[in-house]
Structure 1
Amino acid sequence: MTTPVMSQTYETETGAVVEIHVPDLGVLNSVGPAERTRILEQYVREELGRVLGILPDEVDTTGRPMGCLGIGSISGIELQYRMEGRLGVDLNLQRLLLANSAQELIDCLAGQFGPDAADHRRGAPVPA
């Protein structure tokens, strides 16, 4: 059985091709919280942009809940699968879908990296 390969690019509704930059896990675990959040914000914008068919810079990370962005159960499962697989973290689907903003998702992911994040890595429950 082969593992499906996830595309590293996507095309927006306007025809622009966008590359998704998967963060290096070693870097995420070694940088400080502000840099970690910046790196993950770019990655989350790219993944959300892929699902929504828009450029990453057009993703509203602070002003709207995930549902209002257009993230429903199917796209939420896809995001969960991609982020868990690429980042090696646990991501609670309900938390993803009910997040008040994409920034809340970014903060959740950022908390799973760095020296103080051992309790949040794969296999440990993610607080709801």
Structure 2
Amino acid sequence: MTTQQLSQTYETDSGTVRIHTPDLAVLAAVDLPERTRILDRYVRAELGRILGITPDLVDTTGRPMGCLGIGSISGIELQYRMEAALGVDVNLQRLLLANSAQELIDCLAGQLGPSGTGHRHGSPVPA
């Protein structure tokens, strides 16, 4: 399944929400605060889709991922969607044990910057 085949919309009680997948070239070109802002919007939308709520209702700072309702199955789904959309490896254990969604956002912002240290798909993983 390609990024284009992933559903880019979901329904909530408030209506249809569209998920805007960030442009990787833009993420690599902007500074860290702007990259973090873009990824915050994207991660909120993906979490909102899983939780069935609008992105603005997703608590990114006050609750661990498990308390948000992200368990192993929804975590795998989130991992798969973010890996497909962003082209980076997302560590499932790290995702599930994150103290907040903001930790995930900050990690992605570091991976997707111009000198990101994260693993891109197809890159060898250091031993």
Normalising by structure 1, what TM-score? 0.91
Contact residue 113 and residue 121 of structure 1 kept, 8 A: no
Normalising by structure 2, what TM-score? 0.91
Secondary structure at the aligned position of 2:114 is classed as coil
CA distance in 2, matches of 1:71, 1:11: 18
Contact residue 14 and residue 54 of structure 2 kept, 8 A: no
Aligned partner of 1:91 in structure 2 is 90
Aligned partner of 1:108 in structure 2 is 107
Aligned partner of 2:118 in structure 1 is 120
**Residues matched between the structures, number:** 122
- Inter-CA distance 104–124: structure 2 relative to 1 (3 Å threshold): farther
What percent identity do the matched residue pairs reach?
A: 71
Matches within 5 A, 1:47-66: 47-66=46-65
Contact residue 65 and residue 100 of structure 1 kept, 8 A: yes
Using the TM superposition, give the Cα deviation of residue 124 of structure 1 relative to its aligned residue in structure 2, in angstroms: 5.3
Using the TM superposition, give the Cα deviation of residue 120 of structure 1 relative to its aligned residue in structure 2, in angstroms: 1.3
| 1:27 and 2:18 aligned | no
Q: CA RMSD in A?
A: 1.4
Using the TM superposition, give the Cα deviation of residue 114 of structure 1 relative to its aligned residue in structure 2, in angstroms: 1.8
CA distance in 1, matches of 2:85, 2:54: 20
Q: Which blocks of at least 5 consecutive residues in structure 2 are unaligned?
A: none
Amino acid in the other structure paired with 1:99: A
Per-residue deviation, residues 86-127 of structure 1 (Å, max 9, x unmatched) = 00001000000000000000001001112221x31313559x
CA distance in 1, matches of 2:89, 2:125: 8
